Every structure is written in C-alpha cells, then in structure tokens.
Amino acid sequence: MILKVENIEKAFGKNKVLKNVSMEMDSASLYGIVGENGSGKSTLLKIIVGEWRPDRGKISVTGPLGYCPQETLLFALLTVDEHFRYFAEAYGTDKSELLQRGESLMNFFNFTKFRNERIANLSGGTKQKLSLAIAILHQPKLLILDEPYSGFDWDTYLSFWDLTDKLRQEGCAILVVTHMLTEKKRFDRIFKLEQGLLS
C-alpha cells in the first residue's frame, strides 16, 4: 500500500469541502480524480502532501512523495540549472546522481536549451516541464499531479504519457487530479469528487 486516505474531512467556515473521503493506492497504479473547479480537488491534494491538515481523518504514505502543483512553485530569479542544483541539495541523497537525472529529464522534455535561463523569462509550458521534472527528480514512490499537462504542447503531452508508463514500470503510483481527464483507458481507476464526496 503506497497511499491510504481514511475518512478525510475539511471545512472552511461553514463550507464543508471534503466529506469522509477515503481511497487507497498500490504501487505501479495510475488513478485519476475528476471534478469541477471548486469541487475540493486541490484541497484534497494539499492534505495528502501535508501542506494542509484535515479537520478529521488520516493520511498514510509509504516511501518518498513527489508533488507537481497546478501553480508552479519556482524561483523567478534562478535559472533552470540552479533549480536542479537547489533541489538535488534539498532532497539530500546522491547529488551527482540527481543532477544526471535532471539532465536526462531536460533532454526527455526538450528544454535543455533553456538551462541557463531565469524562470522569469520562461513560457508557462516550460515552467510546467521543469516543475514536473523536479517532482520526479528523487524517484518518488507516489507522484501527485494537479492539472499536470496544462500548458503542454502536443509533443510534450505525448511525452508525458510515455513518462507515466515508465514511472509505473519502476513501481511508482501516480495520482492525476484534473477537471478534464483524457486518455481514460490508461487509468486503473477514476474517481469523481462532487459536493465533497469521492465516488
């Protein structure tokens, strides 16, 4: 069991966003959660990754976690290369191995030519590529993706699904959260979040 979500509830004032939400994920699985904007998808993700605390319930994650939020959390004045060096240091494992993996991911997503560019000068799509690369730099066992292909061109979109196949072969469980789910046949299970309930 990679992820276990047990009876999660979350309210903001009188607005109960999540109501007794439960789910489980095993290694190498690909799950999707769909729902309209404002349905609580991002709230659930932030609770799973530990950014927010639930009002009730419990989250269990086995192994390292990677998270690619909808809004990229990057440093405007740092370059692409500096981001890889920063996160290789932050992850605290074999830095040279992580930097080599960063190089490989830049090649895979075709943004090596931007390695010395500051983030402030990059397009939204390139920022999203970098954010995704950082999320999987340390080879997580669970990867949480919030609207992951927003801003991707067609070639990058196809590369994204090639990457998910590769990660699953390595045993990574992937949770994709979006308001519009494509490639439904690729998923082991698709949940719907509506009015705070997961079904």
pLDDT in tens, 90-122: 987 788 999 999 999 999 999 999 999 999 999
Q: How many residues does the chain have?
A: 199
Stretches in the chain below the pLDDT threshold 70: none
The C-alpha atoms of residue 173 and residue 153 are separated, in whole angstroms, by 25
Expressed in percent and rounded to 5, the helix, strand and coil fractions of the chain are 35, 30, 35
pLDDT digits (tens, 9 = 90+) for 2-17: 999 999 999 999 999 9
pTM of the model: 0.94
Containing 174, the helix (H) or strand (E) segment is strand 173-178
Residues 6 or more apart whose Cβ sits within 8 Å of residue 114: 80, 122, 126
What radius of gyration do the chain's Cα atoms show? 17
C-alpha to C-alpha distances, 126 to 9, 112, 120, 151, nearest whole angstrom = 35, 10, 11, 8
Query: DSSP H helical segments within the chain, as ranges?
Result: 41-48, 80-91, 95-108, 124-135, 154-169
**How far is residue 130's CA from residue 154's CA, in Å, rounded to a whole number?**
17
Q: What's the CA gap between 190 and 97, in Å, rounded?
A: 34
Report whether 55 contacts 9 (CB < 8 A): yes
Please report the domains of the chain, with CATH numbers, ordered by start residue. Answer: 1-63+142-199 (3.40.50.300), 75-140 (no CATH)
Contact between 18 and 40 under an 8 Å Cβ cutoff? The reply is: yes
- Output the pLDDT for position 149: 84
Instruction: Give the pLDDT confidence score for residue 163 in this predicted structure.
Output: 95
